[in-house]
Amino acid sequence: MADQKSQTLRASDAGPPKFELPSLPYGLDALIPVLSAETLTIHYGKHHARYVETLNQLLVSENYATETLESVVRTAHATNAQKLFNNAAQAWNHAFFWESMSPIQSRPGCSLADAINTSFGGLEALGERFITEGTGHFASGWVWLVVRERKLDVISTHDAGCPILEDGLTPLLACDVWEHAYYIDYRQNRAQWLMLWWEKLANWTFAQTQYDTVLNHGEPWCYPASRPHIK
């Protein structure tokens, strides 16, 4: 008991980590014409940055000691710390979303293409399923391509819902269907946003890498660790 208590105190004394806003994998104007620089500037520089800022404030105020953002998301959800969960999960979801897009169009690799054919009957059918799921999702949230026990599926989550909460579920791609993600460029036309996102921006190189970690029992994408601060 004494050892456990001392470990808790050491964790507390060490203080919570300061999570940073990760850099975008591309320039603010790289996704034109699907996404404008104005949308990325506001979505990344305002919305995502605010989630990270609020997350760090909550970690300090609640004296929360942890090592990774993934552990914060899971622990906050398990303990019903709703405000902490919302900001931690949204920080994670957005960082994964940026990785899910690329200005360079790609195709699924052989193993992922085979899995898509097995689960959906082909990439076109998967696209229809993905767009339908996102368009039909009520209110704010996310649409995901995921793999569970090597079988692909399309799911949506509400608000800050995050697929890493489910054991054995690995996200491959994510598209943001919160209105602020697309309203400047598409107004209320979520279906057009999803269609163009799927056709022009979906990062199949990233999805293949995620899928490979499942096949090889590797470590999937994690939120970037903070860089050490030099005093």
Which residue reads 């996704």 in tokens?
31
13 is in an annotated binding site: no
Question: How many other CB atoms are there within 10 angstroms of residue 216's CB atom?
Answer: 8
3 is in an annotated binding site: no
Do the Cβ atoms of 198 and 125 come closer than 8 Å? no
Three-state DSSP class for 37?
helix
Quote the CA–CA distance of 11 and 23 in Å, as a whole number: 28
94 is in an annotated binding site: yes
43 is in an annotated binding site: yes
Phi and psi, residue 9, nearest 5°: -65, -40
Closest CA to 164 of 76, 98, 91, 74: 74
Binding residues: 43, 94, 176, 180
Binding residues for Mn(2+): 43, 94, 176, 180
